[in-house]
Chains A and B, each alone.
Chain A
Amino acid sequence: MSGIELRSVTKVYGTGAAAYQALRGLDFTARPGEFVMLSGPSGSGKTTLLSIIGCVLSPTTGSVHLFGEDVSRRKESELPALRLSYIGFVFQGHKLLASLTARENIALPLELRGWSAREARTEAERLLARVGLGHRLEHRPADLSGGERQRVAIGRALAGSPPLILADEPTAALDATNGRNVTDLLRMLAKEHGHTVVVVTHDNRITSLADRVVHIEDGIIGELAA
């Protein structure tokens, strides 16, 4: 069974003369435990693809299956529950909530999943330790370095152990060392814990760590590299 399976997916923004086709009949799959990177120039459709896989956008046509479940025709009101069930996100620029501590940021998606505050707190501490920040529990994002923030964001993505982790330019704001550390961490999640990890990146320094690099250009998959 594929972790992710997209068939003939198109996405059109706008209507009439202003319509813009971001994806043009794209097929994409990723297995559980696979570490895939999406590359391509700006405007190529990488982020649109990631958004559709992440159930934050619906495709115009085509089908999307996540772990065997067809999610492409779900009502908008059903999408939040799908995201909670299947997906952990690592956003570009971390996007942690500034008013919450590292622990609270990680506990948040757990509480949205229905965990008790105490359980979520304990699990958040465990995840922070796992990303090497067990000593930064009570720090707010403003008090953390860029690399630390991104590791907290990865901890948040791991909360509840979703089978799929989607990362949008996770190394964009990091130096080479921190970028490598974050990528190593994401790869470890795929290889040691079986998460399907899809990373959008422009960063050529890290593409060698992927199982597969999918190149997208003009809304279609251009080439595959091992």
Chain B
Amino acid sequence: MRWRTMMRIALRMALHEKMKFAGAMVGVVFAVLLSNQQAATFLGLVNRNIMFVDNAGADIWIMPGATEILQPGKFLSTSPLDQARGTPGVAWAEPILFGSATVSLPQGGSEQVTLIGTRAPSWRGGPFNLVAGSADALTQPDAMIFEDSDRGKLGGLNLGSIREVNGRRTHVVGFTWGLVPLGPASYAFAEFDLARELMHSDADQFSFILVGAQPGADLQAIKRELQRRMSSERVATRAEFKRSLLNYTIFKTPIGIVLGSSSAVGLLVGFIMVALTMFSAVLDNLREFGTLKALGATTFDLVRLLWTQAAIYGALGAFVGVALVSQAASAARSAQLAMQLPPALLFGTLVVAIAMCIAASSLAVLRVRSVEPAMVFR
């Protein structure tokens, strides 16, 4: 009952002082806008790597030991592929090749791409997100599929364009959209054997092995069995591999620090603005708080009031801030950067904004604690 009474008074007092309300809102919106924009950008960047894992269609990934990210590295041999295919619960296992390739440009110069070799007819590992052509077109001799957003960078690519890749003439049979990993080189696809020839790798060398489980099979049990059979390789479920990509990006690249510190600064500025606004509002309304105490409100009632105001600032600020970030994300969306605003981030924003405002109300709470009801008689 007291909560409800204090919540109502809190709302009335907050809305009654429009300038202070606006000041607090600006603080929270700024904090939400900056931190969410940074977080959404970060998730967008991370998603550029994770997206491949999501789309590859594998339940389990087998990779050289100590591999953390989706990049060319040491090769696997045929042995783990055979072992995977013979493991109970495994429906299929297909290798893919990952390597860098140099595309010579018609006007001179070159650009790097990350070349991915996948096998017909299942095309596990891509290409996907096709906006022109089809995967089966890769069965044509010397056929390749490139990233649509790189067409300009690769010298004005079109279907049928000819490009020299690692010194070999290839022609373009399709385009994907948005397959741009972290780093300068976007993905390009070729049929497995062509990719192997372009990378000058041996026929029994693979970068990753994608494994599909039989319907209803226990993924962890399959993973354990695979790991038991191949102790020098790393075996990870799709979720585990995504998590390691995320951790690597956060903790082993500057992206996490740069974007994380910007988010922290945004939250700090918002915190300070809300704290000062609420403290100033308490100073301006000391007599009203004294009156409430004299009438019989307890100190905790006034704390309830301040917390409610803080929650109002946080919730409304989060709502407005997220709406603005969503608009910005839509406006800025491109193949190079699609800011990600998943529901978890939006909910987290609401929680963090409210928590930030409640924490920011601490100064005001301290001041209100020392308000004496006797002041109303002075």
Contact = CB atoms under 8 A, between A and B. Distances in A.
Given A51-B377, A56-B377, A168-B377, A83 B294 contact: yes
A57 B296 contact: no
B295 A83 contact: yes
Interface stretch (B7-15, B261-269, B271-279, B311-319): B7-15
A109 interface: yes
Interface of B: 1-2, 4-5, 9, 12-13, 15-17, 287-288, 291-298, 301, 372-374, 376-378
Contacts of B294: 54, 56, 83, 89, 91
B5 A108 contact: yes
A160 B115 CA distance: 81
Given A83-B296, A112-B297, A97 B9 contact: yes
Interface in A105-129: 108-109, 111-114, 116-117
A7 B297 CA distance: 28
A84 interface: yes
A41 to B, nearest CB: 16
B377 A99 contact: no
A176 interface: no
A214 to B, nearest CB: 17
A51 B374 contact: yes
A97 B9 CA distance: 9
B135 to A, nearest CB: 65
Given A56-B294, A112-B301, A113-B296, A95 B374 contact: no
Nearest to A140: B16
Given A57-B374, A77-B298, A84-B296, A114 B291 contact: no
Given A51-B377, A56-B372, A104-B12, 16 more contacts: A54-B294, A54-B377, A56-B373, A56-B376, A57-B374, A80-B297, A83-B296, A83-B373, A89-B376, A91-B376, A99-B12, A109-B296, A112-B2, A112-B296, A112-B297, A113-B296
The 5 nearest A-B residue pairs measured at CB: A99-B16, A84-B296, A99-B12, A56-B373, A111-B5
Contacts of A168: 376-377
Contacts of A104: 12
Contacts of B298: 77, 80
Nearest to A142: B16
A47 interface: yes
Nearest to A96: B291
B301 A97 contact: no
A97 B298 CA distance: 16
Contact of A81 (B1, B13, B296, B376): B296
A113 B296 CA distance: 8
Most B CB contacts (10 A, CB to CB) among A91, A112, A156, A168 go to: A112
A105 B328 CA distance: 44
A95 B376 contact: yes
A50 interface: yes
A56 B295 contact: no
Given A56-B372, A97-B291, A112-B296, A47 B378 contact: yes
A26 interface: no
Contacts of A47: 377-378
A91 B374 CA distance: 11
A205 B36 CA distance: 65
B377 A98 contact: no
Contact of A112 (B17, B295, B373, B374): B295
Contacts of A108: 5, 9, 292, 295
Contact of B377 (A50, A113, A114): A50
24 contacts: A47-B377, A51-B374, A54-B377, A56-B294, A56-B372, A56-B377, A77-B298, A80-B297, A84-B295, A89-B294, A89-B376, A91-B376, A99-B13, A99-B15, A99-B16, A100-B9, A100-B12, A109-B295, A111-B4, A111-B5, A112-B295, A112-B301, A114-B1, A117-B4
Contacts of B296: 80-81, 83-84, 109, 112-113
A112 B298 CA distance: 9
A89 B295 contact: yes
A97 B374 contact: no
A111 B296 CA distance: 10
A51 B376 CA distance: 9
A92 B373 CA distance: 14
Contacts of A98: 16, 288
Contacts of A79: 373
